[in-house]
Homo-oligomer: A and B are copies of this chain.
Amino acid sequence: MTTNPTSAPASGPRPSGRTADALRPVSITPGFARHAEGSCLIRVGGTEVLCAASVEARVPPFLRNSGQGWVTAEYGMLPRATHTRGDREAARGKQSGRTQEIQRLIGRSLRAVVDRRALGEMTITLDCDVLNADGGTRCAAITGAWVALALAVRRLRQMNVLAADPLRGQVAAVSCGIVGGIAVLDLDYAEDSGADADGNFVLTDDGGIVEIQATAEQAPFSEAAFTSLLAYARAGTAQLFAAQRAALG
């Protein structure tokens, strides 16, 4: 009953023509949100996310007088980022469960590489807004949010606000899944909507795992399948870490 991807050749008939192990083209443009302390527009194939970091000199109540800072995220999708128009969450009066799940994930992912004592009692909020969606928006948001965060931290350092660097490393995310029985890297929307299984892998540049969320969309999958997804994720995030470094100049 479990899904077990065949050891197919790495060049399957993906809708985009990509090989199974190919990431989509990635570009990261810093400074898109002109007022933000750090920002970028990240493009991963047809997915575009505007990531903006806002620094505030206060922390949530549970951290007051703790000497520690906070990093959090909010996520949104413009109504027509998708094939058919979705409701505007502000008009519906609440954020969906999916939205809340994603923004909690982004926040946790970034905090895993932040030394919150070095940050001091400041809050950095990462707004990740999807302008165009073609699969993998939460992963692009994490990867771009790290760049926005790093730019904001650099600015705080230049202003001599921070004595030490609160960033302990890079974090990036990529999705991997089993589509038509074959493990593939970086699913686009066409693949994502019909995948057998789907996983988001949040990894650090020194090889650590920050978060794994793997879900059987159709039938349960095997441990072997899972292992091959994780291997693809390692390869994919390696490219994303390079793109992040390039964007920081």
Contacts and interface: CB of A to CB of B under 8 A. Distances in A.
B56 A85 contact: yes
Given A33-B81, A112-B216, A208-B216, 8 more contacts: A34-B46, A90-B99, A108-B215, A209-B225, A209-B226, A210-B216, A211-B216, A212-B226
A223 B204 contact: no
Contacts of A210: 215-216, 220
A79 B2 contact: no
A108 B131 CA distance: 26
Interface string A159-173: 000000000110000
A117 to B, nearest CB: 13
Interface in A42-58: 46, 50, 52, 54, 56
Contacts of A199: 212
A25 interface: no
Contacts of A169: 1
Chain A interface category by residue count? 35 or more
A11 interface: no
A230 interface: yes
Interface in A123-149: 125, 127, 129, 131-133
Interface string A203-237: 11011111111111001111101100010000000
A167 to B, nearest CB: 12
A214 B220 contact: no
Contact of A104 (B46, B97, B133): B97
26 contacts: A32-B131, A34-B132, A35-B84, A50-B78, A50-B131, A54-B80, A56-B85, A74-B88, A79-B127, A80-B127, A85-B125, A89-B90, A90-B90, A90-B94, A91-B95, A97-B101, A101-B101, A112-B219, A113-B220, A206-B220, A208-B220, A208-B221, A209-B222, A210-B216, A212-B226, A213-B213
A33 to B, nearest CB: 5
A100 interface: yes
Contacts of A98: 104
A48 to B, nearest CB: 9
Nearest to A208: B220
Task: List the 5 shortest-distance A-B pairs measured between CB atoms, nearest first.
Answer: A208-B220, A97-B100, A2-B208, A89-B90, A54-B85
